[in-house]
Each structure stands twice: as structure tokens, then as C-alpha cells.
Structure 1
Amino acid sequence: PEGSSLQACDEAARKLTEMILKEDGVASISTYVGESSPRFVLVIDPVQPRNNYAQLVVVAKDLKSRKNLEKKIKVLVEEQLPNVQSYSRSIPLGPPTPYPVMIRVSAPTDALAKEYAGKLKQVMLENKNVTMVRYDWMEKAPAVRVELDDDKLRQMGLTRKTVASALYAEISGYSISQYYEGDQAIDIVFRLEPKDHQSISDLGTMSIPTAKGAVQLNQVAYLSYENEDGMIWRRNLLPTITVNAGIADGVTGNDVTNQIMEASKEMRNKLPAGVTIEIGGPSEKSEDSLRSLLGPVPAMLVIMLILLMTMLKDVRKVIIVVCTAPLGIVGVILGLFLFNTPLGIMAEIGALALIGTIIRNSTVLVDQIDQHLAQGMPRLKAVTESVIVRFRPIMLTALTTVLGLIPMFPSDFWRGLAIAISCGLTVATLITLIVMPVIYCLIFNVGNEEK
């Protein structure tokens, strides 16, 4: 919890480390107290140093052991360390995000931000796919409030700055020199022993130097206990609380985020002025990636239309070819469903890449029809013969592409791209060989003419 000491955090981290080491399948553990691990891989998200934070990097012997350890660590913390808030996950393959679901609540005041963050938390907890909910800052930490008496300060010849400097020197300490151990510089800090300021009465007896001698702090100030925010995160100068959530297996963070935003729609429609609830984390980055990916698409389509018109020299033929381009979506959706793979950014790139291949196959068929017509073949026969002649080359080309992508199926990173292209290309090729001739006959009125 917020306000916990570094010593308490260190004890909990050591206890958890010892418990995990007793589990099967553990290759090594690196434990960091008060800070996160160095960024040994790009997708690691560094955490701001603080006393109540510890991070364990557990390396498993194999993939099966890693999956088992993920579940066991959650159980160990819940049973053996009930006062510890924990979250375990595998290192992500995409952009660094601490949690799969992250929603930001911004408000003009921290009280308003806390109020609506609490309401959003209740909405999240009602979702069956949410396993835990946590704020990036919300809890107040115990603190000592020092209220200085300006009249007494003037009588003693002191200023607020003098008192603040004295307290800083005695509690936090000043670096008076450095000690070198090898090539590492270690600060030598001058301060009071921690045992000398463990209670509010000890703080009151601290000496504040003056021109006429030292006075005790409680002679010029009133000390009291209170709870205060240890940190306040701001976004665009507004206090902002990020409500984070963990999710169950078998669902994606984007789907759960959309469910939560839909469930909180009524609350979001009644927000006071200045209060906003926005999607953050993986969903926000996914939207940004998709937006940047689709940005050049209009220009790409215009260039493709110009090239098709230059080659085919007939608007009707261009329409036939373009009508077959969306057929790959059928195969992409079917493949992702069969292999239980989410529609991520890699799958979206694969679906976009299919457009060119599908248009190429349709263009080849239209060109083959033109060649048969130039030989004097009747239109209906020219269409059917073109499909028969081009069936084997088109199918073999698609098959070699699919076989080349199969080794990428086990990869967590490339699976979406490989499935989207291979399944989309297979289904689109089969449908194109059937649908494209039909569209050609309809536009050129081939069937009626033959009759």
C-alpha cells in the first residue's frame, strides 16, 4: 500500500522470491526493491522509483513452465502475502503497457478525479472478464504536517527557508562527500539516525539553529499527523487517474475496454464540465497504430486505380477487378476465428497486404479473357476457358505463399500476420475464381448475348 516503508517492501519481496525459487521450472530470479529493473528489452515499461514498489523478473526453463508459474505466483501472493498488491504478466511483444485495460479519468480537481475514478472502478468490477482493478495513484500516505508560526519565527530571527533547510538536513540529509568503490561513486550523507525521529515528539525536539543559539522545532511550529497524496499525476495540467484492470484468459484488452466504455456510457454522458474519461494503454496505442496504417490508404487506392485504368483501358473492367478486392476479408475473419487469434495490428497489416494479391489474380483473369476474345472465341466460352486455364497457376501461386507462411504460425508475434495472409489468400482465391467471372458476365451482359 501507499506509504509503506522500503524495509517492509524489501521483506515482502524477499519472502516472495524465496517461495518462487522453491517452485519447479524456475531458471533464475532477479529482484529489484524500490525501483523497476533496467530496460533490458525495449518493451519493458520502466516504473518511477518509490519505497513501496518491488519488481521480480522470473526466467522460466521453458514455455510450459512459464505459463504454470504465472498462475502459481498469483496464488502465492493471495495466500501468503494478503497485504501485497501484485500483478504478474509475461513480457509483452508489442508497445510497453503495464496493464491490458487502462482508462484515464481527468478532472479540474483531484477530488473530482477520485470520485469518478471510483465510479469507473465499480463499472469495471461488474465485468466478468476483469480479474483486478488498480489505480496508478489514489491512496493517501501518512505524513506529518508542520505548521509554522510566523510571529514566533520573527521573534527567534528565523525564516521559513531556514527551518526547511534544517529539517531537510536532519531528516533527508546532505551529501557532504563521495566514496569511490572501484568505478562507482557512493554519496556520504550527513543526517540524524532514523531512531531519533521515529515519532512526532522526536520531531518536535529537533534543533533549529539561530543567531542566539538553537531552538526546538515545537517552539516555532505545531506538528500533527495527516494523510496526504504521495503523488498526483497530471495530463495536460489536469489531475489524471488511470484506472487499470487485469483480464481473464481468452479475451483481449481491446474487447474488454470496449465493453467497459459501453457499460459506462450513461455515466460519461452526465460528466460535469472539465471531467473526461478516455481510453488509454494498449487500446489507445492500437487505435494510433491503425490510424497511421490507414493514413496512406487513400493515396494507395488512387494510384492502384490509375495503374489499373492505364493497363485495362476500360472502366467496366476496372470495376470488376476492384469488386473482388474485399473478398479477402472473409478468409481473414474465418482464419482468425478458427485459430483463436485476435484481430491485432499484425492481422490488420496482413489483411491490407492481401488487396494487391487479390487484384493481381483478378487482373490476370481479365487479361486471359481478353486474349481469348482476341482469338475469336465466344464471350461465355472465353470466360469459362480463362478460369480453367488460369486455375492451376493461380492456385499453385497461392499454395506456395501459404506454405511459406505456415512456419510463422507458432510465433506469438507473427501469428496474426501469417494467418491473415494465408487464410485470406486461400479463401479469396477460391471465391475470386467463382465470383469474378460472374461479375464479368453481369457487367458485360455475356449470358443474355449467348442466348
Structure 2
Amino acid sequence: MEKLTRIKPLIMLIFIGGLVATVLMFSIVPTGFIPEEDQGYFFIIGNSPSNSSLNYTRKQVEDINQILKDVPEMESYLGIAGNSFEGNSYNKYLFFGRLKPWEERPNSNQSVFALLRKLNADLKAKMTGSRAVAVNAPAVDGLSATGGLEFQLQNRGGLPMDTMITVAQKYMEALNQRKELQNIFTQFTFDTDQQEISLDRDKINALNIDVGEVLQTLQTYIGSNYINDFVFSNRQYRVYAQVAPEHRANPSDISRFYVKSRNGSLIQLSNVVAIQEINYPPTLTHYNVYPSIKIQAAPASGYSSGQAIKAMEAVAKETLPNGFGYEWTGSALEELSAENSTILIFALGFVLVFLVLAAQYESYIDPTIIMLTVPLSTLGALFAIWFRANLLQVGGFWPIISNDIFAQVGLLMLIGMASKNAILIVETANQFRDLGMNVTKAAVEAAKSRFRPIMMTSLSGIVGYIPLMTAAGAGALSRWSIGTVSFGGYLIATILSLAIAPILYIVIKTFEDKILS
């Protein structure tokens, strides 16, 4: 310890370098919100071609049933044709898959993340008649229907639907080129063959027909029309007027329908209406008033949700023309809303501990010495995240560790754990000074005398975080985050506090004695 006191300028340079490195690490470490977990179930979302029938979609469901029955980790599954999280449609289908309990899936390659990777590869290779994507359950129920990111492309300029569809397709093509993203898809059906009925209003007026009568007739014949209720056997029934299905199966059947004019004569509907074939989306969606198309994606292996969000925003900036914008929804929206509060929360925790220490010591000098060691623990925590994400998890199927909400809880914990070591050194050094030692001698003797208590408590805490770092089963990713941050931060704080805290005590106390006094 005496040798370190002879190179105080070098130690202070290392300390300042550590502060700068801490700030830089915040920009380097990948960010996230709430890590996705292996919750024991997943979904498969599928779209058949736009003009396919419900029977065709049922055939696609049967094909996926054949794929899932060969998966040993599956406990049960259910496929529904004609349904999706975005509404019902003849060309959509949805699967709910339940995995076996975690104790029956002890290996990492039996986790939901490994299963989703394999299953998506099988779906891409074998499902040539439709597009199907297997997705994880949402990290938080209620934020979104599935895991991943939800991007709402908005038509804010009132441009034609064809233009919006073209923009969405080009945007998705550009997203597929980004290495940060995978499983890019949309549940929006871009087009389908439809029959559009238009009224010849000039001919309707010439034949003395009421326009409302024409519309009412079309609704009754092609759709249905409520008439009244009646009671039979003490039960109430509704009566609807509707043409039998076999008489309205083809567009040409409209020539067999008649509408009554104002003078009571019957006019063929085909004389006053025209049928035109069009190609248009069957369902239009809006988000915050504007017409929108929801595009979903997931972070690729080795990337966090924060990196995936930045990639999608960068592509949007490059590809979206004037008149189009976007908004985030689901967990991505919550992540962006919370990212600016991280530094504020950490700063408030830092200030709170500082004020408590200032009240205890009745001085601002000792708390300043103690709190200056805290950023070094943050450096260790951020380095631990970076090391595990970029070196230990490369090429794996697990979501990478990131600076998510659980890691931030660990950073707040480190404020107290890191300051504890400095408190022991500062308090003991003050006691030695009261016995007549000078500043340097007091700091050196305090570090020596407190070395064993600091190492005992620190090592017991560090070892206690290892089960969190190696957790498995339900909630494993959340425990990885908080365990990695606490382990790395506490380890670096213990090593550096023994070396830097005495030097900071010497420098700041000397400054206080010579300048402030």
C-alpha cells in the first residue's frame, strides 16, 4: 500500500480514466427493456395467399400439425384456421404451443429459444404454401400479443393505398438486409380479389328509383336484413330476410334481383348497378387516426431489443418517403419511454445515498470520498454485461444480456454495496487520525486493517451471485441480468476500492487541510 502512495498522480489518472470509460461503456453496452423468458409456451402466426379459401388454410394448419407432432419437447398444441391476433380472416391461422415442464427439458437446446430457431427453419423449408413464423410469448402480459417488436407504419399524407403497400413492402425488404433483425413479418393482407358494386345514379334518377331503396335491396339480397322478433315455446327468436345461398353465389346472380321504383314498377338491379373486379386489402387498420400497417420483428441472435429498435428506425429514415411516418407500440414503446429515465433514477439514488452519508458524517468531504468509488463499480457492471454478451453468448440462441431493467436494478444495488467498502476505509482512517496519525499513514493503516473484513464480506457476496448468473428454467434471463451486473460490479468495486479509496482519501483530505481550512 505504501508503494501506491508514491504514485498518487498515476493512480488519479487511472481513476479519471475509469470515470471516462464508465461514460463510454453506457454507449457501447447493448440496451434492452424486459428480457424475454422461456415461459413454456409459444405461438405460430401464419398467412395463406390472399385469394386462398378457408379450406386451403385448414390444409396449411394440418401441415403444421405434422411438423409439431415430431417435436419431442411439445406437450400439446392447438391450431385454428381463420383466426389471428389481428382479427378473423379466411387466409390467417394461429397456433398455441405448450412445452413440457422445465424439469423435463433440462438441456439448453430444449429451451423455447432453441426450439423457435429450429421450428422457424422447418417452417421456412416445409411450408411452401403459406408464410408462418413461430414467436415467443410476450415478456409482459398485456403489453403486446407476442414477443418481439411492433412497428406501426403510418400513412400521414393521405396517399393512395397502393402507395402505402409499396412503401411497406420496400421497408420490409430493407429490414431483411439488416443483421440485427430476424423473423420480419406482417399480419396485414396487402390485396385480395374483390367485387365492387357501383351505382349509376343518373340512370337511377331517370327510372324514378330511390337510391336508398337500391341500397336496401342489395343489403337484403346479398347480405341480410333484420325484420322482427317472435316468440315460440317461451323462447324469443329473430327473423332475418336473406336470399338462399345458391341464389347469390355468383356475381351474375344480381341480374335476377329486382328493385321497386317510386311508381311501383320492378326494375332489374343489373340495369342500375355495375360490378367491377378490384384488388384491395380486405381489412384496413388505423393507429392513432392514420391508416397503418403493423410490421413485427425480433432481435437476431447476438443483438438486443435496443439495437433492433435503432436498426428499424435507421431503415425507416432511409426508406420512408414524405407523407409516411411511424410509431412504436407494445414493449418497444415502453422501452423507448423508459430509456431516458435510467440516468435520472441512478442519479437520484446516488444523491440520496450521498445526503444520508452527509447527515451521518456532518460533512460533505467524507461522503465525497466514498461516493467517488461508486462509478468504478458501474464500470465493472457494464464491462461484465459487454463481456458476456459479446464473448460468451456469441453464436448462441439465448437472448443476449443487455442493460435492461433488471440490470438497472443491479446498478442501484451497487451504489450501496460499493460504498460499503469505502465507508469502512474512511471511517477507520478518521479514527487513526484522531489518534494522531497523519493523512497518509492513517489511509495506509486503514486499508491494511480493513483488508480482511472487506475481502470476507465481498467474496461471500460475489460467490452468492454465481447461482443467479447460471440460473435455468423460469425467469432465467432476468436472473442472468441482475446476477451478471452485481457480480461484475461488486468484483471490480472490491479490487479498486482497496487501491483507489485510500489514495482518494489522501488527496481530498490533504486538499481539505491545506486549502479549505
TM range (shorter): 0.7 to 0.9
Contact 1:77 1:84 in 2 (8 A): no
1:434 deviates by 1.5
1:187 deviates by 8.8
Structure 1, unpaired ranges of 5+: 37-45, 179-184
- Separation (CA, whole Å) in 2 of partners of 1:389 and 1:162: 99
- Separation (CA, whole Å) in 1 of partners of 2:325 and 2:118: 38
Secondary structure of the structure 2 residue equivalent to 1:250: coil
Indicate whether 1:349 and 2:409 are aligned. Answer: yes
Q: Tell me the equivalent position of 1:42.
A: none
Q: Which has the higher mean CA deviation after the structures are superposed, 326-335 or 146-155? A: 146-155
TM-score, with length taken from structure 1: 0.81
Name which of 493, 500, 505 aligns with 1:440.
505
Tell me the amino acid that sits aligned with residue 32 of structure 1: I
Structure 2, unpaired ranges of 5+: 1-48, 230-235, 394-400
- Separation (CA, whole Å) in 2 of partners of 1:71 and 1:297: 36
Q: Tell me the equivalent position of 1:370.
A: 430
- Separation (CA, whole Å) in 1 of partners of 2:452 and 2:424: 13
Secondary structure of the structure 2 residue equivalent to 1:445: helix
Q: Tell me the equivalent position of 1:43.
A: none
1:350 deviates by 1.5
Gap change, CA 1:12 and 1:315, over 3 Å in 2: same
Name which of 123, 126, 134 aligns with 2:185.
134
Contact 1:177 1:187 in 2 (8 A): yes
Q: Tell me the equivalent position of 1:251.
A: 303
Indicate whether 1:47 and 2:112 are aligned. Answer: no
Tell me the amino acid that sits aligned with residue 289 of structure 2: L
Gap change, CA 1:55 and 1:135, over 3 Å in 2: closer
Contact 1:99 1:244 in 2 (8 A): no
TM-score, with length taken from structure 2: 0.72
Contact 2:81 2:93 in 1 (8 A): yes
Q: Which has the higher mean CA deviation after the structures are superposed, 387-396 or 62-71? A: 62-71
- Separation (CA, whole Å) in 2 of partners of 1:17 and 1:237: 39
- Separation (CA, whole Å) in 2 of partners of 1:291 and 1:97: 25
1:54 deviates by 1.3
Q: Tell me the equivalent position of 1:421.
A: 486
Name which of 336, 353, 356 aligns with 1:304.
353
Gap change, CA 1:433 and 1:118, over 3 Å in 2: same
How many equivalent pairs are there?
A: 431
1:58 deviates by 1.5
Q: Tell me the equivalent position of 1:87.
A: 133
Contact 1:35 1:53 in 2 (8 A): yes
1:52 deviates by 2.3
- Separation (CA, whole Å) in 1 of partners of 2:238 and 2:93: 23
Tell me the amino acid that sits aligned with residue 417 of structure 2: T
Indicate whether 1:391 and 2:456 are aligned. Answer: no
Name which of 65, 74, 94 aligns with 1:26.
74
Gap change, CA 1:394 and 1:209, over 3 Å in 2: farther
- Separation (CA, whole Å) in 2 of partners of 1:129 and 1:406: 30
Tell me the amino acid that sits aligned with residue 288 of structure 1: S
Indicate whether 1:218 and 2:270 are aligned. Answer: yes
1:224 deviates by 1.0
Contact 2:226 2:239 in 1 (8 A): yes
1:158 deviates by 4.5
Secondary structure of the structure 1 residue equivalent to 2:275: strand
Residue correspondence of structure 1 range 50-449 to structure 2 within 5 A: 50-61=89-100, 62-63=104-105, 64=110, 66-67=112-113, 69-94=115-140, 95-96=143-144, 98=146, 100-106=148-154, 107-111=156-160, 113-137=164-188, 139-154=190-205, 158-173=209-224, 191-208=242-259, 212=264, 215-262=267-314, 265-267=317-319, 271-272=321-322, 274-278=323-327, 281-336=330-385, 337-338=387-388, 340=393, 341-409=401-469, 410=471, 411-445=476-510
1:59 deviates by 1.7
- Separation (CA, whole Å) in 2 of partners of 1:21 and 1:428: 51
Question: What CA deviation, in whole Å up to 9, does each residue of 1:183-215 have, x standing for no partner?
Answer: xx9999764454443332134434546674765
Gap change, CA 1:192 and 1:252, over 3 Å in 2: farther
Q: Which has the higher mean CA deviation after the structures are superposed, 83-92 or 115-124? A: 115-124
